Amino acid sequence: MAQNLEQELVNKTTNLLSILSKNDALTIFLLAKDGLKAETDTPQKIGLTRKQYYTRLKQLVDSGLIDKTGDIYSHTTLGNFIHERHLLVLLEHVNNVKKMQMADVLKRTKQFNEEEIMNFIGRTNGNLTEQVQQFANIIWTYEDMVNMFVERTQFAKNEILLATRYLNETIINNVMLRAKSGIQVKVIADSKLIQNYVKEAGDNLKTPDKNTLERIKVVANPWYSSNVTRRFTEVPFSFVVFDRKEVGVELVNSKATDSFKASIFVKDEELARNLQEFYSTLWNNAEEDTSKLIDPGVVNQLKSLTG
């Protein structure tokens, strides 16, 4: 299943790159950032034939990069992420190609280390030392939070520490893929998720047998048989730490603590260090055996049903 999902992601990514590699499609996509009005003379205004314009426009819409609201074409959430986090960064790097070539020449001399080279290039030619864009984003919807989580996960190189109050299939599959790629992934899931799942499964069981309880324990762990190390405990709020440099933190609504309110994603090493220490405390007090989290009453109910 994971392999099929990985191939599906590769195919979707290939399709997006293929579309944006076309000069006319990229032109339309960049113009759509501030809204592109759907007018009969739009193709002429941007220097495209009608066939070029409408062919690329359809491809961009079908790929989920832009959408039409009223008579305006603009970026979707996916399109905005790709524009802000990838295209603008790429354009900046292309603009700094001379600086990078200087860095390569200095590296080949083997007379300077990486830090010395980047400090020199930064002093003489601007801010090349800022390799990763600084960011701090507040996310107001659950769907946008999931999209941001997936995006930031792709930048992780060494480690992902996730503590979660939610079970989301997109996040689970993405985390499993990153673990499969060799990144160390640790997950702390809120114990209530497991307890509620098992209780619901027990209540809905029609034809239980002697292996039912064991099967439920396995299914209750969505990271079963993967490279993800997981434990369970009471999670006060969801958060994630990427490479001990970036964090994503859930903002809990005090009037509805079980519902998602908002989240904030920040690149801040000090904050990441503090959250990593808090994560370690949760991890050390968390339970690894899901059977210890199941209500004894549910266990007895299942045992009585199965004889």
User: Could you give the CA distance from residue 155 to residue 132 in angstroms, rounded to a whole number?
Assistant: 10
Question: Would 117 be classed as within a structural domain?
Answer: yes
b/e burial code for range 53-87 (CB count within 10 A of at least 16 → b): beebbebbeebebbbeeeeebbbbebbbbbbbbeb
Question: Would 21 be classed as within a structural domain?
Answer: yes
**What's the confidence (pLDDT) of residue 282?**
93
Question: Would 90 be classed as within a structural domain?
Answer: no
Instruction: Tell me the average pLDDT across 169-189.
Output: 85
Question: Which one-letter amino acid corresponds to residue 174?
Answer: N
- Residue 104: pLDDT over 80: no
Tell whether 20 and 148 lie within a shared domain.
no
* Identity of the highest mean pLDDT range in 36-45, 79-88, 181-190, 236-245: 236-245
Are 217 and 259 within 8 A, CB to CB? no
Task: Record the tokens describing residue 264, joined without a space.
Answer: 């904030």
Query: Which residues, other chains included, contact 220 with Cβ-Cβ below 8 Å and sequence gap of 6+?
Result: 194, 197, 198, 201, 290
**What's the confidence (pLDDT) of residue 264?**
92
Question: Would 89 be classed as within a structural domain?
Answer: no
Question: Would 209 be classed as within a structural domain?
Answer: yes
Tell whether 106 and 162 lie within a shared domain.
no
Question: Would 131 be classed as within a structural domain?
Answer: no
* Identity of the highest mean pLDDT range in 90-94, 238-242, 286-290, 293-297: 238-242
Tell whether 183 and 278 lie within a shared domain.
yes
**What's the confidence (pLDDT) of residue 82?**
85
Tell whether 200 and 297 lie within a shared domain.
yes
pLDDT band at 248 (very low <50, low <70, confident <90, very high): very high
Give the distance from CA 192 to its chain's centroid.
24
Question: Would 282 be classed as within a structural domain?
Answer: yes
Tell whether 121 and 168 lie within a shared domain.
no
Count other Cβ atoms within 10 Å, centred on residue 96: 17
b/e burial code for range 252-279 (CB count within 10 A of at least 16 → b): beeeeeeebebbbbebeeeebeebeeeb
Q: Of all residues in the chain, what percent carry a pLDDT higher than 90? A: 18
Tell whether 174 and 298 lie within a shared domain.
yes
Tell whether 72 and 157 lie within a shared domain.
no
- Residue 129: pLDDT over 60: no
Tell whether 237 and 163 lie within a shared domain.
yes
| Domain carrying residue 119 | 96-125
**What's the confidence (pLDDT) of residue 173?**
82
Which residue in 239, 240, 217 sits closest to 288, CA to CA?
Answer: 217
CATH classification at residue 215: 3.30.870.10
Q: Between these two residues, 266 and 219, which has the higher pLDDT value?
A: 266
Q: Which pTM was predicted?
A: 0.52
Tell whether 187 and 253 lie within a shared domain.
yes
Question: Would 174 be classed as within a structural domain?
Answer: yes
Q: Of all residues in the chain, what percent carry a pLDDT higher than 70? A: 70
DSSP 271: H
User: Could you give the CA distance from residue 295 to residue 150 in angstroms, rounded to a whole number?
Assistant: 33
Report pLDDT digits (tens) over 36-78: 888 888 888 888 889 999 999 999 999 889 998 888 898 888 8
Give the count of domains, the chain: 3
Tell whether 219 and 298 lie within a shared domain.
yes
